[in-house]
Amino acid sequence: MAMSSARKGWAAVGLAASVSLVLAACGGDDDGGDDTAGGGETSGGGGDCAFAEDFTDLDGTTVTVYSTIVAPEDAPLEASFDAFEECTGMTVVYEGSDEFEAQLPVRIQGGSPPDLAIIPQPGLLATLVRDYDAVIPVPDEARANVEASFDPAWIDYGTVDGEYYGTPFGANVKSFVWYSPSAFADAGYEIPETWGDLIALSDQIVADGGIPWCAGFGSGDATGWPGTDWVEEVMLRTAGIDAYRQWYQHEIPFNDPQVVEAFDTVGEILKNDQYVNGGLGDVSSIATTRFEDGGLPILQGNCWMHRQASFYQANWGEGVEVAEDGDVYAFYLPGIDPEQGNPVLGGGEFVAAFTERPEVQAFQTYLSTDHWHAERASKGNFVSANRTVPVDAYDSPVNQLSAEIIADPEAVFGFDASDLMPAEVGTVAFWTGMVNWITGASTQETVDAIENAWP
Amino acid sequence: MVLAIALFGALMGLILLLTGRVRKRADLWQSLAFVLPALLLLSVGLIYPAIRTTYQSFFDRAGEFVGGDNYQFVFTNDAMITVLRNTAIWVFLTPLLSTFIGLVYAVLVDRSRVEAAAKAVIFLPMAISLVGASIIWKFVYEYRPDQQGIEQIGLLNQVLVWLGAEPRQFLIGEPWNTLFLIVIMVWVQAGFAMTVLSAAIKAIPSDITEAAQLDGLTGVRMFRYITVPSIRPALVVVLTTIAIGTLKVFDIVRTMTGGQFGTSVISYEFYTQGFRTLNTGVASSMAVILFVLVVPIVVYNVRQMRKAEYR
């Protein structure tokens, strides 16, 4: 995996080199007054390239982009840059890495940051701004683009200490419960509308001799994050969006009674021996099961429900149809307290710039336009928080459903809290805390330990 | 390739020519000219980072001077104490177990008919990287529940199921999981211990062993009074080398548990602190602690090797 992405990197460098050679050759022709190079430019100004009219003087420039997205997801991503590259003559050198979060600060300190990075955690963005003073604020045109086509909250997520640093890139919806429509139909189960229905259904499955839930927290050295999503979902549903916001901003402590209640409500499902862990073992097996494998027992009928984000559809494997009448599909994880409405937990990535060159700012601006978001959606396997992208531009039913949920003004959208917390908490203490909690630590011990880790 | 060799030859010639022209103390200049590049690389790659790391360990993440706070944190925080405890268990058990197994094995197969094959079996794991070894053992420890329609894929749990016991999760229970990780390191290092010790045993002069045999020494007493004292220097080298390697055990912890379930050690924790939480101060202080722990072992090792040489 690492090998192939490294190779990919070299291929990208090779490609960049050959493209720049070709461009250089074109430039040479231009001096001779040759018409072929001019032909290229006219196509640059015409029909398909209308979107690029605002982006001038980019011919021959190069912008490097660094992110967590590696093969196979990097292919549609790189394809979405093609139109811009063809129309402006700019070269985008893309590099993805599994070690992005650790490598980015190293590259910044080493004096060789990428021009643009696609950052999955606003908490990391804040750290880079505050501790490293390395991020260039978003250009005004890009900000205007985001204000025009996104929920205003997306400006907040990219804002650190009053300055705007990150434009929204991809988005995902986490509040899904995966299930097998055919198995539900055979057993006569209905999709639960409320939390009460959900628990009643779980009890029904137990009574029928099944194990309703399956889960997996394992994810290499990021082990524990699926657990934080569970707590965040319930926190949004029991305490509400305002308390949720106070929670990730540390205006209430991590061991606040509202957080304890959220943990305990999750525990009613995940720490219940009768409810978990279908086909995977006892409660503690949740800690060691890889998150990619967590929902697969549904296919064998060993479990019935698996809460995981929209992107989990990539894990079902070849030949498994993901659709309302297919092998697996997802329903919305119901709300708990009617007063808190129907909360939706989601996440997203942000584009931040580390160098101040006109072409970098131009490309960051382009990545915030409706054109790019539509272009990216058309390449597949992506959801955008951009409201102008038509729902049927997305390639799968789950992505369409996600886009509908994100665009719904009634939905209470909560951004992944652990991604918004400082790295010590959000990506270390909270993750480790979830692992310890599921393997036997009490809720109070767990939340106290996480609170102590807050810087 | 040819060009590189030619360049190397030319450079050497140039150095020899230049230093040869110096009349006074030509030897000194000559050795300096050859040592200089190595010294330069050493200072850039080792000495400067060591000084800088020590310096950074007195600052917090925002660059404020905090004195010994980082060290205090490492020695008082509960999670960090677990890390120190685990490191101590690793450094104590791994060299002892590997050396003991290697030594007993070397003695048992010595001059037996299957010696070459038997040695190859225990030496082979040496050729596998620690990450590779960890992946192999991950499958050995792999857990599946004992339910209908579920098959065990882990060797150990399959054995347990055959014996009529419940399969168990070897990597979760603290502190036993650290022992299960140590098994991997021992598996890899025993071959090294065996090879070095076997060579040392073969180097024992046969007149000594024959004289002992005439005096009636056999079996365990032969081993205790002749073999072990004769190979003492080799034993020390093996023990200290494995101890140093153990202090650097990063790969096994990362591959097997990612430091979860209370299995983290200093060499892994300082990576987590430095690169995941961007807490350079605490990370640096852990690196310094690791450095301080290694120094006495290295000094002892070097002195022993010198003694062995001059004997």
B206-227 pLDDT tens trace: 888 888 888 888 788 888 888 8
Same domain, A298 and A438: yes
The one-character DSSP state at A172 is: E
Copy the structure tokens of residue B250: 């990063």
**Residues A92, A13: Cα–Cα separation, whole Å:** 10
Q: Does residue A432 belong to the interface with chain B, where contact is any CB pair within 8 Å?
A: yes
State yes or no: pLDDT of A43 exceeds 50: no
Tokens 């000559």 sit at which residue? B30
Residue in B254, B278, B279 nearest the CB of A221? B254
Give the model's confidence band at A32: pLDDT under 50 very low, under 70 low, under 90 confident, else very high.
very low
Residue A359, number of CB atoms within 10 A of its CB: 20
Same domain, A264 and A353: no
- Say if A42 falls within a structural domain: no
- Say if A17 falls within a structural domain: no
- Say if A367 falls within a structural domain: yes
Same domain, A168 and A180: no
State yes or no: pLDDT of A123 exceeds 60: yes
Same domain, A307 and A429: yes
Same domain, A211 and A274: yes
- Average pLDDT (B253-262) is 86
Q: A131–B278: do the CB atoms touch at under 8 Å?
A: yes
Between strands A412-415 and A163-164, the pairing is unpaired
Query: Following CA atoms B100, B102, B107, B110 in sequence, which dihedral angle do they give, to the nearest 10 degrees?
Result: 180
- Residue A379 sits in a domain whose CATH number is 3.40.190.10
Same domain, A62 and A189: no
Least-confidence region, from A39-43, A322-326, A447-451, B204-208: A39-43
ipTM above 0.85, yes or no: no
pLDDT of residue A430: 92
- Average pLDDT (A34-62) is 64
CA distances (Å), origin B274, targets A117, A125, B244: 20, 17, 22
Query: Which residues of chain A have a CB within 8 Å of the CB of B144?
Result: 280-281
**Residues B260, A133: Cα–Cα separation, whole Å:** 32
Copy the structure tokens of residue B210: 């024959």
Query: Which residues of chain B have a CB within 8 Å of the CB of A428?
Result: 272, 276-277
**Residues A241, A411: Cα–Cα separation, whole Å:** 11
Residue in A105, A285, A300 nearest the CB of B149? A300
pLDDT of residue B311: 58
Least-confidence region, from A33-37, A302-306, A358-362: A33-37
**Residues A455, B23: Cα–Cα separation, whole Å:** 64
Q: Which residue has the higher pLDDT, B182 or B25?
A: B182
Domain count of the fold of chain A: 2
- Say if A240 falls within a structural domain: yes
Closest A-chain CA to B151:
A279
Same domain, A327 and A386: no
Selected residue of B170, B254, B278, B279 to mutate for chain A interface (largest A Cβ count, 10 A)? B278
Q: B147–A423: do the CB atoms touch at under 8 Å?
A: no
- Average pLDDT (A37-46) is 40
Give the model's confidence band at A105: pLDDT under 50 very low, under 70 low, under 90 confident, else very high.
confident
Q: B277–A424: do the CB atoms touch at under 8 Å?
A: yes
State yes or no: pLDDT of A416 exceeds 60: yes
- Say if A38 falls within a structural domain: no
- Say if A31 falls within a structural domain: no
Same domain, A323 and A192: yes
Predicted TM-score of the model (pTM): 0.79
Same domain, A372 and A283: no
Residue A101: domain span: 55-173+347-415
Least-confidence region, from A19-23, A266-270, B74-78: A19-23
- Say if A4 falls within a structural domain: no
The per-residue pLDDT for range A170-222, each reduced to its tens digit, is: 898 999 999 999 999 999 999 999 999 999 999 999 999 889 999 999 887 78
Same domain, A208 and A338: yes
- Average pLDDT (B261-272) is 89
Query: Which residues of chain A have a CB within 8 Å of the CB of B252?
Result: none
Burial state string for A122-140 with b = 16 or more CB within 10 A and e = fewer than 16: bbbbbbbbebeebbbbbbe
Same domain, A225 and A354: no
Q: A279–B61: do the CB atoms touch at under 8 Å?
A: no
- Say if A311 falls within a structural domain: yes
Q: A302–B149: do the CB atoms touch at under 8 Å?
A: yes
**Residues A250, A355: Cα–Cα separation, whole Å:** 32
The rounded radius of gyration (Å) of the Cα atoms in chain A is 23
Q: A105–B150: do the CB atoms touch at under 8 Å?
A: no
Q: Does residue A319 belong to the interface with chain B, where contact is any CB pair within 8 Å?
A: no
Same domain, A62 and A160: yes
| Percent residues over pLDDT 70 in chain B | 98
CA distances (Å), origin B222, targets B216, B225, B235: 9, 5, 17
**Residues A165, A142: Cα–Cα separation, whole Å:** 10
| Percent residues over pLDDT 70 in chain A | 90
The SS3 call for residue A269 is helix
